[in-house]
């Protein structure tokens, strides 16, 4: 893991860009130098870039609560090169959306492979992060639900997961949901235009964990109220600290 830049923020959080082989990432660590900080892996739904403003704000904010927070652009995500199949699926998605045609199968062909390719890169990153001084377990996961389901199902170091329901979840991950047994907080925007509410409720029902909580708030995809950030920190506080 190579750090390529660093910036000390106003609240004492250290923000560092890194590369790990082909993987670019950002790591936010809190000011305190006491015990190792619990780690939270944070991913944005559907391959949005790690530099996206809301994700960056969430990373900084969460680190200020005393967590090490990391995000990466996995293969095909953010500014990483896309495969020809990816480009074709994205073009098809734009066409279908403009024409008002069904998009489920296109999303399936786009997001399914993204998750498949992302999981090993996130695990490699996890190995490297846990080898750094000042970062400890247990490990939490926050954000992109499809990726998080797969990671929580296959990666025993994930101890708690916060999922944002506003993203497409491929069939494979809908089926894997019952294998998720870690404590879970699912965040749902009640009127998220592109993400049918009933699918999120069905998925919440399907998760195999005994300790799961759903927080739903009125409003569209980007309308999550500020206090949910605090609620998420308290959720991770109960399970990672």
- The residues of the shown chain that bind a copy of itself, judged by CB under 8 A, are 190, 201, 204-205, 209-218, 225, 227, 230-231, 234, 238
Please, which residue, 42 or 187, has the CB nearer to a copy of itself? Answer: 187
Please, which residue, 157 or 178, has the CB nearer to a copy of itself? Answer: 178
Token pair recorded at residue 110:
């786009």
| Secondary element (H or E) of residue 141 | strand 135-144
Please, which residue, 5 or 198, has the CB nearer to a copy of itself? Answer: 198
Cα dihedral across residues 139, 25, 207, 67: positive or negative: positive
Please, which residue, 134 or 229, has the CB nearer to a copy of itself? Answer: 229
* Min CB(112)–a copy of itself separation in Å: 28
Please, which residue, 116 or 191, has the CB nearer to a copy of itself? Answer: 191
By the 10 Å C-beta count (0-12 exposed, 13-18 middle, 19+ buried), 63 is classed as buried
Distance (Å, rounded) from C-alpha 183 to C-alpha 158?
10
Distance (Å, rounded) from C-alpha 186 to C-alpha 215?
6
* Min CB(228)–a copy of itself separation in Å: 9
* Min CB(63)–a copy of itself separation in Å: 22
* Min CB(8)–a copy of itself separation in Å: 31
* Min CB(216)–a copy of itself separation in Å: 4
Residue 36 is classified by DSSP as P
Distance (Å, rounded) from C-alpha 161 to C-alpha 236?
8
Nearest Cα to 149, choosing from 161, 136, 137? 161
């Amino acid at each position: 893991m190579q750090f390529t830049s660093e910036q000390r923020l106003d609240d004492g959080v250290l923000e560092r860009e890194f590369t790990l082989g082909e993987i670019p990432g950002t790591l936010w660590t809190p000011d305190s130098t006491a015990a190792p900080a619990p780690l939270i892996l944070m991913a944005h739904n559907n391959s949005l870039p790690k530099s996206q403003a809301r994700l960056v704000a969430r990373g900084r904010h969460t680190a200020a609560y005393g967590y090490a927070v990391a995000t990466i652009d996995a293969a095909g995500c953010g500014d990483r090169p896309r495969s020809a199949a990816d480009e074709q699926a994205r073009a098809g998605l734009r066409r279908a959306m403009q024409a008002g045609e069904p998009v489920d199968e296109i999303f399936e062909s786009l997001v399914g492979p993204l998750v498949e390719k992302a999981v090993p890169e996130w695990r490699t990153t996890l190995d490297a992060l846990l080898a750094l001084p000042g970062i400890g377990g247990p490990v939490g996961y926050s954000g992109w639900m499809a990726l998080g389901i797969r990671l929580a199902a296959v990666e025993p170091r994930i101890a708690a997961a916060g999922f944002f329901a506003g993203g497409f979840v491929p069939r494979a991950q809908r089926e894997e949901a019952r294998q998720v047994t870690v404590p879970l907080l699912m965040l749902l925007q009640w009127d998220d235009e592109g993400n049918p509410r009933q699918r999120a409720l069905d998925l919440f029902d399907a998760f195999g964990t005994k300790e799961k909580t759903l927080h739903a708030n009125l409003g569209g995809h980007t309308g999550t109220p500020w206090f949910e950030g605090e609620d998420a920190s308290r959720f991770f506080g109960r399970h990672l600290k």
